[in-house]
Amino acid sequence: MNARVFRARRVITPHGEGAASVVVRAGRITEIVPFDAPVSAAEVVEISDDAVLLPGLVDSHVHVNEPGRTEWEGFASATRAAAAGGVTTLIDMPLNSIPATIDTAALRAKTEAAQGKCHIDVGFWGGAVGDNLSTLPALAEAGVFGFKAFLLPSGVDEFCHLNRDQLEATVRAVAAIDGLLIVHAEDPDVIDAAPAPHGPSYADFLASRPAEAEYRAIETLIELAEKYSARVHVLHLSAATALPLLAAARARGVRITAETCPHYLTLSAEEIPDGDTAFKCCPPIRDRDNQRRLWNGLRNNTIDAVVSDHSPSTVDLKRAGGGDFGTAWGGIAGLQVGLSAVWTAAPDWVALTDIVRWTATGPADLVGLNHKGRIAIGADADFCVFAPHETFVVDAAALRQRNPISAYDGRELRGVVRSTWLRGERITGDQPRGRLLQKGM
């Protein structure tokens, strides 16, 4: 069988960084041999000495929004943007599409909408909305990677949040099928007691989503995960005050994991101009000291993954209210630039091996895709060729996402994705070759 060989002076594998030749046959990695080892191959892809061969990133937190809100984002545009940012696998959230992915009929509508449009591999989360507990086993059987829940209003009417009793029932039901529950963790009582967001002041918006809301919600999730021996994952952690809670729970064997996002690691409240709602997201971007502690949470393995929470909308919705943080859509569209943003902001102790663990291997392991997110024999030959010292300036209008608005617009970032490869074939953005994934594939 004809082979394609990727030869690089710098390759990131589970064993670290080194020079190697990576042999690919039929879309899988079959050998990893010394750089100069003779290999019979139909083609040799030489990676320049100023670039690094990384595994393709796995982004387990993406809102594609198709069908139903395809004007916000769609499978074609989202997967092109992902590939341009080195991402080769994404898992699509069960909202903000219409219908929401809360039963098998909605999952079929989602997969039919995605068919033939994806430039990278795509899987799906299901939704847990309180009155669909009986459908969760069927959704799991149909191949969703787990179930998402909100503890407060989601922002769209078709995806309901869970009250305390519904949350407990959901944790119990997901544990019964050994599934994974992923949770937007902000406590509704704390949010309700905070001042309502309004006007252009970012400080006022930040006060409307206090860190205490995340802390209290995570306390509740830990209690329930421990009670039912359930697998629970905290989405988009922004409040570093919750890190000791998570660390202590994990130390005593609670099955709880957590992720954070590039915008929490790279942007800070101090630099956000009043009225610039491109920066609005929930939970919010907090201050620099909080950011420093999030990096430490990654360093000590309390945080398992860094994923985009790509939550796009139309420009009109993102700018609604003319700079009013209470009115504008909340979400950061960062799918294409996340790798570069994190690498730019990384403290001195961070190496590319760390970046790969957080953005590729960690998310892949979270969802059980053991053949993704690593350069290892038997894994899919998904690669990102990354030039870590090259810089570029983000131009929102040039991004591959559907709508030209970005919190990173005009920023100079370090690290350029030169090419992205799916199962050993370069992604050009012309011919969609991505597969639709199911849990267990």
Q: Which residue has the tokens 């944790």?
A: 171
Spatial separation of the C-alpha atoms in residues 412 and 392, rounded to whole Å? 6
Range of the domain at 252: 56-374+391-412
Q: pLDDT value at position 63?
A: 98
Q: pLDDT value at position 1?
A: 65
**Structure-block tokens of residue 157:** 């009417």
Structure confidence at residue 416 as a pLDDT band (50, 70, 90): very high
Tell me the per-residue pLDDT of 100-117, one tens digit each, with 9 for 90 and over.
999 999 999 999 999 999
Spatial separation of the C-alpha atoms in residues 161 and 152, rounded to whole Å? 5
Q: Please, which contacts does 408-414 make with residues 24 or more away whose CB atoms are closer than 8 Å? A: 408/334, 408/337, 408/341, 409/278, 411/341, 412/344, 413/337, 413/340, 413/341, 413/343, 413/344, 414/340, 414/343, 414/344, 414/388, 414/389, 414/390
Q: pLDDT value at position 285?
A: 98
Single-letter amino acid, residue 317: L
Q: pLDDT value at position 87?
A: 98
Structure confidence at residue 382 as a pLDDT band (50, 70, 90): very high
Q: pLDDT value at position 336?
A: 98
Q: pTM, whole model, 2 decimals?
A: 0.98
For residue 426, tell me if it sits in a domain.
Answer: no
Which whole number is the average pLDDT over 194-202?
97
Range name among 36-40, 225-229, 282-286, 423-427 with the lowest pLDDT average: 36-40
Cβ atoms of 320 and 328 closer than 8 Å = yes
Structure confidence at residue 436 as a pLDDT band (50, 70, 90): very high
What CATH number is given to the structural domain containing 211?
Answer: 3.20.20.140
Provide DSSP, 151-196: SS--SSTTSPPP-HHHHHHHHHHHHHTT-EEEEE---HHHHHHSPP
For residue 421, tell me if it sits in a domain.
Answer: no
Which whole number is the average pLDDT over 390-396?
98
**Is the predicted pLDDT of residue 86 greater than 80, yes or no?**
yes
Which whole number is the average pLDDT over 50-64?
98
Spatial separation of the C-alpha atoms in residues 352 and 343, rounded to whole Å? 8
Q: pLDDT value at position 2?
A: 86
Spatial CB neighbours of 112, under 8 Å, sequence gap ≥ 6:
none
Domain count, the chain: 1
Q: pLDDT value at position 195?
A: 97
For residue 209, tell me if it sits in a domain.
Answer: yes
**Is the predicted pLDDT of residue 65 greater than 90, yes or no?**
yes
Structure confidence at residue 405 as a pLDDT band (50, 70, 90): very high
**Which of 251, 253, 245 has the alpha carbon at shortest distance from 226?**
253
For residue 11, tell me if it sits in a domain.
Answer: no
Spatial separation of the C-alpha atoms in residues 13 and 375, rounded to whole Å? 5
Q: pLDDT value at position 202?
A: 98
For residue 22, tell me if it sits in a domain.
Answer: no
For residue 31, tell me if it sits in a domain.
Answer: no
Tell me the per-residue pLDDT of 217-251, one tens digit each, with 9 for 90 and over.
999 999 999 999 999 999 999 999 999 999 999 99
Which whole number is the average pLDDT over 63-67?
98
Q: pLDDT value at position 393?
A: 98
For residue 117, tell me if it sits in a domain.
Answer: yes
Q: pLDDT value at position 327?
A: 97
Burial tier of 114 (Cβ tally within 10 Å: 0-12, 13-18, 19+)? buried
Percent pLDDT > 90 in the chain is 98
Q: pLDDT value at position 296?
A: 98
Tell me the per-residue pLDDT of 340-360, one tens digit each, with 9 for 90 and over.
999 999 999 999 999 999 999
Mean of per-residue pLDDT scores for the chain: 97
Structure confidence at residue 441 as a pLDDT band (50, 70, 90): low
Tell me the per-residue pLDDT of 113-166, one tens digit each, with 9 for 90 and over.
999 999 999 999 999 999 999 999 999 999 999 999 999 999 999 999 999 999
For residue 10, tell me if it sits in a domain.
Answer: no
Crossing angle of helices 211-228 and 164-176, rounded to 10°: 40
